[in-house]
Amino acid sequence: MHPAFSVIFLTTLIGVGQGLFLALFTGQVYALANLLPAQDSQSFYAIGSVVAIVFLIAGLIASVFHLGHPERAWRAATQWRTSWLSREVLALPITMGLIFAYGLTHYMGWTEPFFIIAKGTLPVDASLIIGTLATIATFALFICTAMIYAGIKFIQEWHTPLTVFNYILLGGASGFTLAAAFSAYVGADLVGFYGMWAVILTITGLISRAAVLWRNKHLQHKSNLQTAIGVRHNNIQQKAQGAMGGSFNTREFFHGSPQAVVKMARYGFLSLVFIVPVVLLGASYSMESSYLPLLAFVVQYVGLMMERWHFFTEAKHPQNLYYQSIA
């Protein structure tokens, strides 16, 4: 498949935003359980939510460039019964709205508990309720985004539950890395906590992503030229594809990059998404540096763009069987 930069930016940027929100809310829940020091509502949770929303909006803006007619995009909310893309179009603003509401409750200080459960240890306030709803929305958005790809059964490289795990794990990893960078920046005492979770998610993501690489290397494609044109012969060669100057079919479904570039991207993302950030986060933990986590995030984000680019080049669409040679 041809990697579209609009989609690469969309999926990576909203992944960061979702992951950052999950990190913020995880921190709040840990603080409720007195496992972590509570943070200031305004300077930490509210500002953090703003950062998450900025990433989500940036992703939304990137997605607009993918559309031929963005002015009609509102129609995309109508087919949620059947289309994962439509579900994503609904889940994205719902997630953004809930994260905004979460940030707003913290900013306005609406954190008086409504009631207290679990024998007086768990005060339930507005931010906890909205945060829980936003967490559900965030995971729903992850699933919708990933199922757009995993749901197409004949793009076999994508048609696996691992695609969904990867979107959740890699989005989560980049979000927690950003949370570590954000904590370091505002001087919150959570760099170690977020850094540790970022490392755990990154390593889990590595296992899941490597499994996909292994799977795709050994994948048996169901379709071949014999089933494509219905001629039972082992030696079929295309002599003409009906157009000399290419067509939408040759532009949209072929990445057109040499194998060497794809290989470089593979090694590039494997080191930039997984190895370098883990090393940098580990170093920041021992050195107590305030900018190393930020560096780790930037490196990981660049790596994630390469990962998403590679994700598209991996996918072999069966229609390509009809476009093997021009003349």
Partner 1 sequence: MQLALLIDLNVCVGCHACVTSCKEWNTSGAAGPMADFNPYGKDPTGTFFNRVQTFEIGAFPKVETVHFPKSCLHCEEPPCVPVCPTGASYKREEDGIVLVDYDKCIGCKYCSWACPYGARELDEKQKVMKKCTLCVDRLYDQNLPEAERLPSCVMACPTSARLYGDIHDPDSEVSVQIRENGGYQLMPEWGTKPSNHYLPRRKTRIHLHQDELERVDNPLKKEGLQPQPPSDQKTLDETTSW
Report the chain's terminal Cα–Cα distance, integer Å.
22
d(CA 108, CA 42): 8
Q: Tell me whether residue 143 or residue 292 sits nearer to partner 1 (CB atom).
A: 143
Q: Which residues, 6 or more positions from 65, have their beta carbon under 8 angstroms from its beta carbon?
A: 5, 6
Rounded to a whole number of angstroms, the minimum distance from the CB of residue 240 to partner 1 is: 4
**Residue 117, H or E segment:** strand 115-117
Rounded to a whole number of angstroms, the minimum distance from the CB of residue 1 to partner 1 is: 7
Q: Tell me whether residue 42 or residue 319 sits nearer to partner 1 (CB atom).
A: 319
Q: Which residues, 6 or more positions from 284, have their beta carbon under 8 angstroms from its beta carbon?
A: 180, 184, 191, 195, 292, 293, 296
Rounded to a whole number of angstroms, the minimum distance from the CB of residue 241 to partner 1 is: 5
* Contact set with partner 1 (CB under 8 A): 1, 66-70, 72-73, 75-79, 82-86, 89, 148, 151-155, 222-223, 225, 227-231, 233, 235-249, 252-253, 317-320, 322-323
User: Among positive and negative, which fits the CA dihedral 113, 116, 122, 127?
Assistant: negative
Q: Which two tokens stand for residue 133?
A: 């709803």
Q: Which residues, 6 or more positions from 246, have their beta carbon under 8 angstroms from its beta carbon?
A: 326
Rounded to a whole number of angstroms, the minimum distance from the CB of residue 91 to partner 1 is: 12
Rounded to a whole number of angstroms, the minimum distance from the CB of residue 84 to partner 1 is: 7
Rounded to a whole number of angstroms, the minimum distance from the CB of residue 206 to partner 1 is: 27
- To which residue do tokens 């470089």 refer? 264
Q: Tell me whether residue 297 or residue 311 sits nearer to partner 1 (CB atom).
A: 311
Q: Tell me whether residue 89 or residue 294 sits nearer to partner 1 (CB atom).
A: 89
- To which residue do tokens 């913290």 refer? 106
d(CA 171, CA 177): 10
Q: Tell me whether residue 55 or residue 149 sits nearer to partner 1 (CB atom).
A: 149
Q: Which region holds residue 221: left if phi is over 0, alpha if psi is between -120 and 50, else beta?
A: beta
Q: Tell me whether residue 155 or residue 164 sits nearer to partner 1 (CB atom).
A: 155
Q: Which two tokens stand for residue 64?
A: 């607009």
Q: Which two tokens stand for residue 258?
A: 């040499």
Q: Are 66 and 3 in contact (CB under 8 A)?
A: no
Rounded to a whole number of angstroms, the minimum distance from the CB of residue 100 to partner 1 is: 24
Q: Tell me whether residue 111 or residue 223 sits nearer to partner 1 (CB atom).
A: 223
